[in-house]
Structure 1
Amino acid sequence: MILQNWWFTTLLGIDSPLQAPLTKDIKADIVIVGAGVAGLAAAYYFRNKGLQVVILEKNICGGSSSGKSAGFLTPDSELELSQLIRRFGPRGAKDLWNVPLKGIEIMKTAVQEHQIQCDFQVQDSLFLGIGKSGWQDIQEEMESRKLLEFDQILYDAVSVQKIIGTNAYSGAVRYKNTYGIDALLYCQGMKKVLMKNGIDIYEASEVLSIKDHTVTTHLGSVTAEQIIFCADKLQSKLSHFADNIYHAQTFLSISEPLNEQMVKSIFPEDRFQCWDSTLVYSYFRLTGDNRILLGGGDMMTTFSKNDINSARVINKVIHQFKNKFPQLKDLNFIQFWPGRI
């Protein structure tokens, strides 16, 4: 297993030339810093407003956090819906939940309208309980979804085995309108869409400073009426918000392709995107070419301030996954990569 981001492997053979960096001082109505999913969505909103929009990206479009992600298009985050209700109340939780739901719909519409080739997969979400406490979490999540009038299907320890090929889980809650995606290919596809709509995109153009209405890169600058930051992991010199944010590290791995028999042994009925109820949870789904995308971590490395690039942690995650699915004991995982959320 080699240290390499699989999503960058999927760029091979794709016609998506690198955009030249910004090399001059220009003006615009709006400058967007960061060309991940959020930055491109912001630009997509402004595309038909008659405004001059510029995007600055330090890497390639989708080349940072978006292009390292597992591509789970779900409103779930590090907090389940039940946890959001405890923290913000039913109304606040529903408002928070509806924001990513809207974002998912925007992405889905863009993929379909512009025929973006990004391994878009319809995959219901499956939150899986482990042990007695996990079953309690599942029931609480089920009741939370009922309270806020969201769709849900509950499975106990017996019925869940009809939809996932293991007896390792104590139950599950399922809901629809969620998807899997190759976020890097999506961002590269959106880049083409936006450029066709007259939006200027500069890659390899990291913003080094901001003063008043001007952002400066190493070779140029943009002065704009509005500056929109859509960058993850900002430096303190750019924003004081960076001092109040801590990032957790997780790991992803990708397997060799499974044959149809192996796929059916994991997902007898439908393909799901799955995660479990443990604190440092594992998560997995299938790609369009039948590879297992598996992620997770451990307590020590999740909250370490230093990046870990060893395969030790993901090997442990893979081992635990194969214990749950012994029919995959001979499956090889070929690449892995770390990322921060």
Structure 2
Amino acid sequence: MIIVTGGAGFIGANIVKTLNEQGRSDIIVVDDLSDGKKFYNLADCDIADYLDKEDFLQRVQLDDGLLDNVEVIFHEGACSETTEWNGKYMMENNYEYSKILLHACLEKRIPYLYASSAAVYGGSAVFKEERSFEQPLNVYGYSKWQFDQYVRQLRSSAPALFQSQVVGFRYFNVYGPREQHKGSMASVAFHFNNQIQANGFCKLFAGCDGYADGEQRRDFVFVGDVVKVNLWFWANPDKSGIFNLGTGQCQSFNDVADAVIAWHGEQGSNARKEYMPFPDHLKGAYQSFTEADISALRSVGYDHSFADVKTGVYAYMNWLDQH
């Protein structure tokens, strides 16, 4: 049996779908379907069971046998709203919940692959898995960072507990299928596509902080590659640690917009870009550049290539067109 928390969410649902394609349907999805529209992400997936996140946590704490035959837990469930400032809620969902699952997995020697975030770097100019470069700027980033710290400290103080795999993935700017429920938190590729469909043009920020119009840069990583990395680690249970998960190559927002526009152009559209003034409230508080240092990921043997923006965006636009 496989458990995917956040399994109706963006990355979780893509893990479930890929597992299906590999012949696995003995999957328990754990999520919170208060937003019932998330079920769309699972409508074409086959699973063995669904559990609400609170019911699941209660059963884990009761140790009622639910985890006795589990091969791996992909822990993707979290509050991922970077604009959420309720720290109590954030820490309960992203920190305490993750700690309880960690200890259950260590006790039962279940591989535990969990979602961290590039938000742990916050205002840093260097994106490397080292304490000196980690400075979260919001409570979401803090909740992810504090759990990474907990794992590190526990591994250091009680290494004998770690008889099974524990891996944290610091996701950069992930985009691709099954993110439509994320609303304002969905990727720029998703929003650019919607804007072009509605208005014939997409809107980008004008230049700021030394960057030209639309030239702010991020490490955009296709969700298909994120799933491949997760499954590779599961297939290599001797590899543990905290790893950046990006392409290692930043690209501009212009690159994303140009790829979306080019795809629409092949469908006969005359879409274009427009630049809007950079918002005053974001000046001095905006990440204009992110780029994952993936040397740690490469050092443990992950040698697969990552899709560039054009390749990933085209795959995404084709999926959106079919769905």
- TM score, norm. by length of structure 2: 0.30
Q: Quick check: which has more Rg, 1 or 2?
A: 1
- RCO comparison, higher one (Cα < 8 Å, 6+): 1
- Comparing both structures, which one devotes a greater share of its residues to helix? 2
Q: Which has the higher strand share?
A: 1
